Amino acid sequence: MRNRTKQYAIVGLFFALLLGLLPTAEVIADDLQPPQQIIQTVSAQLQQKLKDKSFTRNFAQVTQFVNGVIYPHTDFDKIAPLVLGKHWKTATAGEQERFKHEFQTLIVRTYSRAFVEYNDWTIRFMPLEMSNEATKVVVKTEILQPGLQPVDVNYRMFLTKGEWKVYDIMIDGVSLVTNYRSTFNDEIQTKGSLSAVIDNLVKRNAEALSAKDS
C-alpha cells in the first residue's frame, strides 16, 4: 500500500509538471528549445483554467479537460509497452488495447486530482543543447517551492511526426515507467494473469471516477 501511495503521488506530480500546472517558468537557458516550449506553452493554457475556481470544483469537467490536454503531448502507444515490459509481447491485441485505455484513464484521473491540489510552484528550465537532427532529448528542470529543496525533474521526450512528446519522466531519479512496470509486474504475478490485472484496473478506475470526492 505504501508503494502504491508513493506511486500515485509520483504520477500526480508527473503530469502536474509535464503539462505546466505550475504557475511560472524561470528560464536559465537564453532561449527555450522546441521540447521545452511544449511544457511552457501548455503551462500558460492551464494557468487560465486555474483562475476559474468553479471549473476546478467540477471533477468531471476537469477530467474531460485534462484528457484533452494530456493526449496530444504524451505518447501512450509508446508508454504502455514500456510499462508492461515483457508482458506486452505476450499479451493479445485485445489485452494491449484494454491496458492502454485503462492506463491512460488511470493517468488522467490521477492528474485531475493534482490539477486542483498542486500550486505555488515554479519551473526552472536548465540549459538544453540539442542538434537539429535530434529525435530524442532529456529536458532537465528544477521545481522550486518556497521553503523546500529544489526537485530535479527530467523529461524524456522523442520526436514523432514532427511533434515532441513525453514518454517518461524522472523525479529525483524515480522513473514513472520503471515505477509502474515494477508495480504491474508484481500484480500480474499475484493475480496470475494480465487479464485479471486489467479487470482490477477497470474496477478501480470506475470506482474512482464515480466517487463524488474523486
Q: Residue 155: in which H helix or E strand, if any?
A: strand 151-160
CATH of the domain at 98: 3.10.450.710
Q: How far apart are CA 107 and CA 79, in angstroms?
A: 11
CB neighbour class for 22 (10 Å; exposed up to 12, middle 13-18, buried from 19): buried
Number of domains in the chain: 1
- Structural domain including 6 reads 2-210
Local structure of residue 207 (DSSP, 8 states): H
Residue-wise pLDDT tens for the chain (214 aa)?
445 555 555 566 666 666 555 555 555 445 889 999 887 776 666 666 766 778 777 877 888 887 887 888 899 999 999 999 999 999 999 999 999 999 999 988 887 777 666 666 678 899 998 998 999 999 998 888 788 889 898 889 999 999 999 999 898 889 999 999 999 999 999 999 999 999 999 999 998 887 654 4
